[in-house]
Amino acid sequence: MSVWNQVLQAAHSALIDELNERFPADKLELGLPKRVEGAVGAESGARVLFREVKSNEGAGFLALSGNAKQNPHELADVLVKAVVRTEKEFKIRKIDASFGNPLASAPNARMTIWLPIVIRREPNDMTFDMALGLGI
């Protein structure tokens, strides 16, 4: 299995765990993966945060996108805590990857895979769409 598949699985699992812990009364709606050419933003994303990912197969980025009505500090905190959980998964699963610095914007990528997550709440839904950009 490619290290990028392992990174995507570990990061997605870590994000789900973080969201379930943070919002125990809410149900997560997991959408189907969306693969796009280049570094394309999520449809829901008024706010997108990026983190560099390095592996023996090259460099990429992890992104977390939330909608315009979400608290930007909460979105940033979710990303930080999901990265910490993912790094633990890297060690447990012996995945040869690591996180680099936060990135101000999406670097050029040959492909981006988005995994949408929605929490339905009245009056505003929350989105936590995660992406892995490859080939930067």
* Ranges of each domain in the chain: 3-23+39-60+68-134
Tell me the pLDDT band of 135, cut-offs 50, 70 and 90.
confident
Tell me the pLDDT band of 54, cut-offs 50, 70 and 90.
very high
CA distance 28 to 129: 11
Q: Are 129 and 62 in contact (CB under 8 A)?
A: no
Q: Are 125 and 67 in contact (CB under 8 A)?
A: yes
pLDDT at position 68 is 85
Q: Are 69 and 124 in contact (CB under 8 A)?
A: yes
pLDDT, one tens digit per residue, over 22-45 is 999 999 999 999 998 887 766 555
CA distance 8 to 86: 10
CA distance 69 to 94: 38
